[in-house]
Structure 1
Amino acid sequence: MQPEISILNNGLRIVSLKYPQFETVSLGIWVNTGSAYERENMNGISHFLEHMVFKGTAGRSAAAISEDIENVGGQTNAYTSREFTAFYAKMLKDDLELAVDVLCELVTSPQFAEDELVKEREVVVQEIKQTYDDPGDIVFDYMQAEAFAGQAMGRPILGTAGLVRSFGAGELRAYMKTNYAAENMVFCAVGNVDHGQLVKMVETRLSGLQAKTSFAADRQHYTGGYFAEKRDTEQAQVILGFDGFSYADERYYAAMLMSTVLGGGMSSRLFQEVREKRGLVYSIYSFPTFYTGAGFTGIAAATDNEQVNKMLPVMIDEIKKIAAAPVGEAELKRAKAQVKSAILMSLESSSAVSEKLARQLLLFNRSIPIEETIAKIEEVGVEDVRAAAETIFASKPTYALVGNVDGHYRYDEICRLLKA
């Protein structure tokens, strides 16, 4: 079954995939904007806007937005990432038009009332403080800031308390006018949905959107760097990272499979060597992050402060091994099975499928058949994995640490271990 795609006169793409056996529909509006598309003095406005649109529209109060959805048993939410903002819902099929109406109001007629602005600024500031108070969360912000130093991609999605408190209705409206254009958006629905009816519903409500965005994003590039913050914690949170690949890079699947072999699951090299054999960590895993024009490959670990200097050489040794020699055929077969099964299992979730389709339209302007994805995974050979690892781990490292930093390896020492 293939998705159906329609394009309105203003360039808005509408995509749907019908599952006639479902009683529900997962739907949403995805916007190709986020913290990586913000100027420095506007850092955090994408996320703050995501909050504020739920605080009242031309047709509904803040209470009515949630009540109208929940009165019929539906669910709605939103998120902001570095490159995407999404507003989504899951409803019974008979309540589709209600959800379409609410979602379209969120992106066309938010009111930004002053009393709501005052309250929501402090809500977001509390969210910022909560992130800072969690070493396992904040270490990722520190990592990102060093990996993409001095760039929008390196700044926190939530922004800073000072900037959030400076945002008013004028800034929010200007940001929407610049970024919330039809060519920059996708409306997606997956479940028991008729495509023709969906198009009519959306066209009635979103045909008046301006067609083109006036924002030109800066090119993002990996830099690498070091950040350590001393905290009185029992465990240290550690991330060692390197350059990566973009979504469109032909080495995308090789990098994903390499990361899976290295640190994806309990059978991975890092988990077996660092935790199971040596007992040096509680958790350790690798993660590839792909962006439109850049990427990042990281290894995250949580361990006793006293164990960090024992763990790092072992971690680095595994990095060197995977870059120096092809992985075993059995390892690659297992990694392919892990990646393929995760993709195929996600197809059983209408919410996950709608997310996937919307992102594909925004990134590649087409939906990618699952058969094409599986074929690309199967094409990857052991030498492709080694070559991807060699390229990635030859880059300048990023090292972020939150914990008792006294006596831990300095950045120059980590660089020396990697080159030894």
Structure 2
Amino acid sequence: MNHHFVREKRIDITRLPNGLTVATEQMPEIATATLGVWVGTGSRHEMAHEHGLSHLIEHMAFKGTARRSARQIAEDIENVGGDINAATSVEHTSYTARVLGENIDVALDVLGDILINSAFDAAELAREKSVILQEYAAVEDTPDDLIYDAFMEVAYGGQPIGRPILGTPDTIKSFDEATIRAFMAREYAPGKMVLAAAGDVDHARIVDTAERLFGGMPSVDAREPESGLYSGGERRISRKLEQATLVLGLPGLSFKDPDYYATHLFTHILGGGLTSRLWHEVRENRGLAYSIDAFHWPFSDTGLFGIGAGTAGSDVRELMDVTRECTRQATADISEIEMVRAKAQMKVALLTALETPGGRIERIARQLLSWGRIVPSDEIVLKVDALTVDQVQEAGKRLLCGDPTLAAIGPIKGLPSLEKIASGLRG
């Protein structure tokens, strides 16, 4: 029985006149409140000259407003025992805080202040650009980070969705207050913003405060980003390193695709845990890598499947051969035991994500931005439980129909050509 998945708590949802959505989930057993504002804008919404701007804006949110200095923002939250954070992704930017339930007005006021009244002081902007340039340099010096940026760039060649979130030194240095304000006026539209809160919360009180803080934001027609079009290809970066880091990819699916859950299960069976096929063959049987993982990154209109691992330069060819064979074989002979295990692991992951107020507000915000509704857990589980071996194998075959993407760094002379890799995947 899936009785755990029908215990959905009540989620109250109110849409303000300007389009901003307020959603709360009361959790009586929790004494804290976690809240945040999610904006349906990320790095893929940037124009070429704005590359990296979403990430910079996230950083600048904590650097002072018309009412608060950077120090005062931190003090107002930490004086009541809270914490505050922000994050930028390809399709979203979020600003979150956690406090005691009795101090939720403080957190709301700070979040509203940084989103509406940020000063973008020139001195603070210069300092934060320097911080981000250091972050950029750190990625360049970290093969495990650099290779995944390269992987996305190759998979979506020349497109906003494929660009690294941090930007480039040239674009980062070029940003000024006017550029920031123009981007926010265009992209921070109330109609694609969700204020979500969970824990010790009162919906009516939060709606009243949200109306006061955000109700004056003008309605803006949401701008659709450039569609993501998978291209594939390769990037090989030869460096004197102890290990080669490899990422092999194929075109994946949007989370709105009917085959999304089947693709998720295929990915997990192939490389999602200690019993997965890749882990068993590559790590346990052959000792070719410390770890190897398969992943599927779904976006609103496209997706990217991949397999990542690190190995010695002398083993890159064998690792690639084994990876191709395991992937191809998984489209032909998945067992019922593998299916049962993968489904159970997916359910545990789903439940685990809902065990904290932070996990709940992220789920609420992302689903409202993506679907315009909350998708009940039992609805997801019913779809997963209904999947058959044939459907999951067909999902794998659909992946293998695409042209591959390869990103590799380190001692990689032994890597086969991309053409040979592609032919090995298709059998």
- TM-score for the superposition, normalised by structure 2: 0.97
In the alignment, structure 1 residue 419 sits paired with structure 2 residue 426: yes
Decide whether aligned partners of structure 1 residues 130 and 213 sit closer, same or farther in structure 2, where only a CA change above 3 A counts. farther
User: 2:328·2:426 contact (CA, 8 Å) conserved in 1?
Assistant: no
In the alignment, structure 1 residue 304 sits paired with structure 2 residue 331: no
Distance 1:230 1:185 in 2: 43
Count of aligned pairs between the two proteins: 419
Structure 2 SS opposite 1:413: helix
**CA offset at residue 326 of structure 1?**
4.4
Correspondence for 1:31: 39
Structure 1 SS opposite 2:62: helix
The correspondence for 2:224, drawn from 192, 212, 216, is 216
Distance 2:91 2:301 in 1: 11
In the alignment, structure 1 residue 232 sits paired with structure 2 residue 240: yes
User: 1:184·1:213 contact (CA, 8 Å) conserved in 2?
Assistant: no
Correspondence for 2:69: 61
Structure 2 SS opposite 1:55: coil
User: 1:180·1:213 contact (CA, 8 Å) conserved in 2?
Assistant: no
Distance 2:221 2:270 in 1: 40
Q: Which amino acid aligns with 1:2?
A: R
**CA offset at residue 214 of structure 1?**
5.0
**CA offset at residue 407 of structure 1?**
3.1
The correspondence for 1:273, drawn from 254, 276, 281, is 281
User: 2:24·2:196 contact (CA, 8 Å) conserved in 1?
Assistant: yes
Correspondence for 1:368: 375
In the alignment, structure 1 residue 149 sits paired with structure 2 residue 157: yes
Distance 1:23 1:40 in 2: 45
Correspondence for 1:315: 323
**CA offset at residue 411 of structure 1?**
1.7
Q: Which amino acid aligns with 1:303?
A: T
User: 2:400·2:426 contact (CA, 8 Å) conserved in 1?
Assistant: no
Alignment RMSD: 1.0
User: 1:179·1:213 contact (CA, 8 Å) conserved in 2?
Assistant: no
**CA offset at residue 333 of structure 1?**
0.3
Correspondence for 2:83: 75
Residue by residue over 1:308-337, the C-alpha shift from the partner in whole angstroms, topping out at 9 and shown as x without a partner, is: 1111111000111122x2410110000000
User: 2:316·2:414 contact (CA, 8 Å) conserved in 1?
Assistant: no
In the alignment, structure 1 residue 344 sits paired with structure 2 residue 363: no
Distance 1:2 1:146 in 2: 43
Following superposition of structure 1 onto structure 2, how do residues 10-409 of structure 1 map, counting pairs within 5 Å?
10-213=18-221, 215-323=223-331, 325-409=332-416
Residue by residue over 1:207-233, the C-alpha shift from the partner in whole angstroms, topping out at 9 and shown as x without a partner, is: 011212453311111111100111111
Residue by residue over 1:205-261, the C-alpha shift from the partner in whole angstroms, topping out at 9 and shown as x without a partner, is: 000112124533111111111001111111111100001110111111101111110
Distance 1:376 1:201 in 2: 38
User: 1:283·1:303 contact (CA, 8 Å) conserved in 2?
Assistant: no
**CA offset at residue 298 of structure 1?**
0.5
Distance 1:236 1:68 in 2: 46
Residue by residue over 1:281-311, the C-alpha shift from the partner in whole angstroms, topping out at 9 and shown as x without a partner, is: 1110100100000000000001111111111
Distance 1:61 1:205 in 2: 19
The gaps in structure 2 that reach 5 residues or longer are 1-8
**CA offset at residue 268 of structure 1?**
0.2
Percent identical pairs in the alignment equals: 39
**CA offset at residue 408 of structure 1?**
2.2
Out of 401-410 and 202-211, give the one that drifted further: 401-410
Residue by residue over 1:317-372, the C-alpha shift from the partner in whole angstroms, topping out at 9 and shown as x without a partner, is: 0111122x241011000000011001111211110111111000000000111111
Residue by residue over 1:96-134, the C-alpha shift from the partner in whole angstroms, topping out at 9 and shown as x without a partner, is: 000001111111111111111111110000011111111
Q: Which amino acid aligns with 1:18?
A: Q
Structure 2 SS opposite 1:298: strand
The gaps in structure 1 that reach 5 residues or longer are none
Distance 1:41 1:388 in 2: 38
Residue by residue over 1:36-94, the C-alpha shift from the partner in whole angstroms, topping out at 9 and shown as x without a partner, is: 11111111000011111211112211111111101111010000000000000111111
| Ranges of 4+ aligned residues in structure 1 off by more than 3 Å | none
Distance 1:3 1:102 in 2: 24
Q: Which amino acid aligns with 2:368?
A: L
The correspondence for 1:410, drawn from 411, 414, 417, is 417
User: 2:316·2:412 contact (CA, 8 Å) conserved in 1?
Assistant: no
User: 2:191·2:222 contact (CA, 8 Å) conserved in 1?
Assistant: no
